[in-house]
Amino acid sequence: MSRNLNEHIWTAAGTDITIRWKINGWIAPSEQQVYKDKWQYYQNLPLRQLDDAAKEQYEAVLRKAKVVRLK
């Protein structure tokens, strides 16, 4: 094995590795509009067949459970 030990980049435990990934062009799914649209679509599925009163009750249950919805 002719690998140079200086080529290895050591990362301490607890280091946020995503910083290095972002430098190399990685984009987190939470920052990509495609994934935001996808999750918003699936979050809104239960609301599609509800009338206004039922929507308000559904939203109240989510607020009580402290569920965060994408807007």
Q: What is the pLDDT of residues 16-36, one digit of tens each?
A: 888 888 888 999 988 999 999
Residue type, 3: R
The answer as to whether 27 is a domain residue is no
In the block, residue with structure tokens 């109240």: 60
Range of the structural domain that residue 70 is part of: 32-71
Asked whether residue 50 is domain-assigned, the answer is yes
Q: Which pLDDT belongs to residue 32?
A: 93
Residue 4 pLDDT class (50, 70, 90 cuts): low
| Residue 19 placed within a domain | no
The confidence score (pLDDT) of residue 1 equals: 47
Residues in Cβ contact with 30 at an 8 Å cutoff, skipping those fewer than 6 apart: 36
Q: What is the mean pLDDT of the chain?
A: 79
Domain count, the chain: 1
Q: Is residue 10 part of a domain?
A: no
How far is Cα 23 from Cα 63, in angstroms, rounded to an integer? 37
58 within a domain of the structure (yes/no): yes
- DSSP letter string, 33-60: HHHHHHHHHHHHGGGTT--HHHHHHHHH
Assigned domain for 37 exists: yes
Centre a 10 Å sphere on the Cβ of residue 15 and count the other Cβ atoms it contains.
Answer: 10
